Amino acid sequence: MSHLTGKTVAFLVTDGFEDSELTSPWEAVTSHGAQARLVSPAGDSVTGKNGHQQSVDIDSSVADAAEFDVDVTRCAPRSAACRSRSRSTCTQAR
């Protein structure tokens, strides 16, 4: 059994993120058994600055921090959406 089996990781992302800063950690946590969920205010999908597109699982306006064991925040530099995101979606690792 992997050390992250049964854990849920929220990736908080906005458009314009550095592609590898989402894809590499996403692969790392899922390969160790965690369920990764993409949380964003961006709508149906997000696009990285180098073109990586990924579907949004949960809109940040309805995300419940209690559903996640860890959050990973990957926002575009100077993103207003990221700076103003709801504190409820930003948790410390439990």
8: exposed, middle or buried (C-beta count within 10 Å: 0-12, 13-18, 19+)? middle
pLDDT value at residue 57: 97
Q: Which fold has domain 8-79?
A: Rossmann fold (3.40.50)
Domain residue spans of the chain: 8-79
Tens digit of each residue's pLDDT (9 = 90 or more) over 13-69 = 999 999 999 999 999 999 999 999 999 998 899 999 999 999 999 999 999 999 999
Between 93 and 48, residue with greater pLDDT: 48
Q: Which of 47, 65, 64 is nearest to 56 (CA)?
A: 47
Tens digit of each residue's pLDDT (9 = 90 or more) over 54-72 = 999 999 999 999 999 988 8
pLDDT value at residue 74: 65
pTM beyond 0.95: the answer is no
pLDDT category at 3 given cuts 50, 70, 90 is confident
